[in-house]
Amino acid sequence: MLEFINISKSFFKNKVLDGISFKAESGEILALAGQNGAGKSTLMKILTGIYQADGGQILIDGKEVHFTSVSDADAAGVGIVYQELSVIPHLTVAENVVLSQNVNRRFHYLNKKKEIAQTEEVFRRLGVEIDVTRPLGEYTASTQQLVEIAKSIYKNPKLVIFDEPTTSLTNKEREKLFEVMDAMRKEGMTILFITHYLEEMYRMADKCVVLRDGRVQYYGAMNQLDKGELVNLMIGQRLDAFYPKIESYVTEKTAVELSGFGGGIVAPCDLKINYGEVVGLAGLVGAGRTELVWMMIGHTKHSYGSIKIDGRDVTIKDPGDALDLGIAYINEDRKNGGLHTGMGIGFNILLPSIVKNRADIVSSTGYINDKEARRVSDEMIVSLEVKCVDADQKVMTLSGGNQQKVSIAKWIAADPQIYIFDEPTKGIDVLTKSRVYDIIRGLAKDGKAVLVISSYTPELIGVCDRVEVMSKGKIVASFGQGVTENDILLVQ
């Protein structure tokens, strides 16, 4: 059993945790809900010994504990499964699991037979069948996520923190993870579950704690809150509709058309998107969705078929060609493929516009109009509601949701006609998700063509005019308004 009593924490004059108190019982899953910046991460860093609280107490099984390092928390039976994988692909599954146990030992001789057997036993407890002698890199991302859990279970923890564990998983993979979490609950473990997906909280959690601005807004049974009340508690205001009302802005003019287009794992595909239309692309991990759009923007070379923009055949050799043709790709990995996080917000917002030589920003002689550039970046910050000090603030200091807004803002500023969003709400909070959905529908209203790739089926249904489904490199089905999650799941 875990108990927080009046936990407080400040950074300089900013109080990020203010009198946090709640309990999580053995054999219970407790959801920790809140916006980015609500204090969830800080509280978990205190629990795992990364930070130390300024005041208050932490009790585990009724005894007060003080953690000054991660190893202290580890020794006391506190485990954590992070959103980001920390595995070594070329090592076997068993080696990855046992390495986590012995990383702090100066000398350790592996008894492979014994440790393979111990690893197999962990997976048996989790109800997972897996060959632990195979290199981990041969397995899917979802299996690697299960290995992260096994690494924690191997240490026989009393308490496990799941931090956004389903972000990169498909519906089927989520179900497997939930089975594992349920098995852990039945074994009597205490589980803290952090997720931005409301459906997952209601599906798995016994109790819920809602944090806002470093304070507890609600602590009690999960089933005593409806979704509207939960969102209101999280954001401190009423959110009337999570998804925007879908009004059709679809025109008869085709923006992009693929004919027999593909290569690699992607079979010949036919796809057409009109201006004013939002098209979703559903499918399991490995279905070929990202590979298809990478070929569309010239990131990788296609092997067959053709692509038309505005009715004419085009050749796209690289992303620069795509940008020249008015195609924007909002990368799912905003830190490594979408943003220069060490640079300012304004720099990031203006970069595509500068590359495109936007007339009001870049003169015919190549000089940048600083006043106009500042006006554009400030305008985008206000329009997309980026929470920051000013345009000079470094992107790395922003929350994940605000980084995503900057990633979108830089393309809107460049005024492309075709937008491709790859997992647009990955790792961002409820209010920011709702804002992103409004932005996507707003682009359609402005006459832009939009393609949305997402592993989260409800958002495709909630924001798209039409959903195409990919399976094993092929587009296998197309659905209009009124499609259900089950319809899409059956053809994946």
Question: Could you tell me if residue 248 is inside a domain?
Answer: no
Question: 274 and 137, same structural domain?
Answer: no
DSSP, res 355: H
Measured CA to CA, the distance from residue 264 to residue 243 in angstroms comes to 35
Question: 375 and 422, same structural domain?
Answer: yes
Question: 263 and 205, same structural domain?
Answer: no
The maximal CA–CA distance of the chain, rounded, in angstroms, is 72
Question: Could you tell me if residue 247 is inside a domain?
Answer: no
Of the candidates 143, 194, 138, which has an alpha carbon nearest to the alpha carbon of residue 24?
A: 194
Question: 474 and 364, same structural domain?
Answer: yes
Residue keyed to tokens 């279905």: 287
What element of type H or E holds 212?
strand 207-212
What type of residue is 55? G
Question: 168 and 137, same structural domain?
Answer: yes
Measured CA to CA, the distance from residue 433 to residue 154 in angstroms comes to 36
Question: Could you tell me if residue 246 is inside a domain?
Answer: no
Question: 197 and 54, same structural domain?
Answer: yes
- C-beta of residue 225 within 8 angstroms of C-beta of residue 208: yes
Question: Tokens in use for 274?
Answer: 């009109």
Q: Which domain holds residue 453?
A: 254-491
DSSP, res 242: S
What element of type H or E holds 439?
helix 430-445
Q: What is the bridge-based pairing of β-strands 304-309 and 312-314?
A: antiparallel
What type of residue is 437? Y
Measured CA to CA, the distance from residue 266 to residue 303 in angstroms comes to 10
Domain end marker among 175, 205, 235: 235
| Alpha carbon 471 to its chain's center | 22
Question: 96 and 212, same structural domain?
Answer: yes
Question: Tokens in use for 315?
Answer: 């050749």
Question: 261 and 227, same structural domain?
Answer: no
Question: 263 and 229, same structural domain?
Answer: no
| Alpha carbon 281 to its chain's center | 17
**SS3 call for 150:** helix
Domain end marker among 207, 235, 263: 235
Give the E-state strand segments of 109-245 in sequence order. 159-163, 190-194, 207-212, 215-221
What element of type H or E holds 470?
strand 466-471
Q: Give pLDDT, residue 103.
A: 47
- C-beta of residue 336 within 8 angstroms of C-beta of residue 297: no
Question: Tokens in use for 198?
Answer: 């409301």
Residue 119: CATH number of its domain:
3.40.50.300
Strand partners, 449: 418
Question: Could you tell me if residue 84 is inside a domain?
Answer: yes
Of the candidates 38, 376, 82, which has an alpha carbon nearest to the alpha carbon of residue 218?
A: 38
Question: Could you tell me if residue 39 is inside a domain?
Answer: yes
Tell me phi and psi for residue 403, to 5 degrees. -65, -40
Q: What is the pLDDT along the chain (492 residues), one digit of tens a residue?
A: 899 999 999 987 778 899 999 999 999 999 999 987 788 988 999 999 999 999 999 999 999 999 999 889 988 999 888 766 778 888 999 998 888 665 444 445 567 888 899 899 888 887 778 899 999 888 866 678 788 888 888 888 899 999 888 876 667 777 888 988 998 899 899 999 998 888 899 999 999 999 998 999 999 999 999 888 898 898 887 666 778 889 999 999 999 999 999 999 999 999 999 999 999 999 977 789 989 999 999 999 999 999 999 999 999 999 999 999 999 999 876 666 678 889 999 999 998 998 888 888 888 888 888 899 999 999 999 988 888 889 999 998 887 778 888 999 999 999 999 999 998 888 777 888 888 899 999 999 999 999 999 988 889 999 999 999 999 999 999 999 999 988 998 888
Question: Could you tell me if residue 312 is inside a domain?
Answer: yes
What type of residue is 251? T
- C-beta of residue 69 within 8 angstroms of C-beta of residue 114: no
Domain end marker among 174, 208, 235: 235
Domain count, the chain: 2
DSSP, res 164: S
Q: Give pLDDT, residue 216.
A: 96
Q: How far lies 165's CA from each of 162, 271, 281, 340, in Å?
A: 6, 32, 22, 26
DSSP, res 337: I
Q: Give pLDDT, residue 384.
A: 86
Tell me phi and psi for residue 81, to 5 degrees. -115, 110
Q: Give pLDDT, residue 479.
A: 96
Q: Give pLDDT, residue 310.
A: 96
Q: Give pLDDT, residue 108.
A: 52
Q: Give pLDDT, residue 105.
A: 47
Of the candidates 189, 186, 155, 212, which has an alpha carbon nearest to the alpha carbon of residue 39?
A: 212
Question: 207 and 265, same structural domain?
Answer: no
Question: 420 and 276, same structural domain?
Answer: yes
- C-beta of residue 448 within 8 angstroms of C-beta of residue 465: no
What type of residue is 179? E
Give the CA radius of gyration of the chain.
24
Question: 380 and 268, same structural domain?
Answer: yes
Question: Could you tell me if residue 228 is inside a domain?
Answer: yes
- C-beta of residue 424 within 8 angstroms of C-beta of residue 330: yes
- What is the rounded end-to-end Cα distance, in angstroms, of the chain? 41
Question: Could you tell me if residue 122 is inside a domain?
Answer: yes
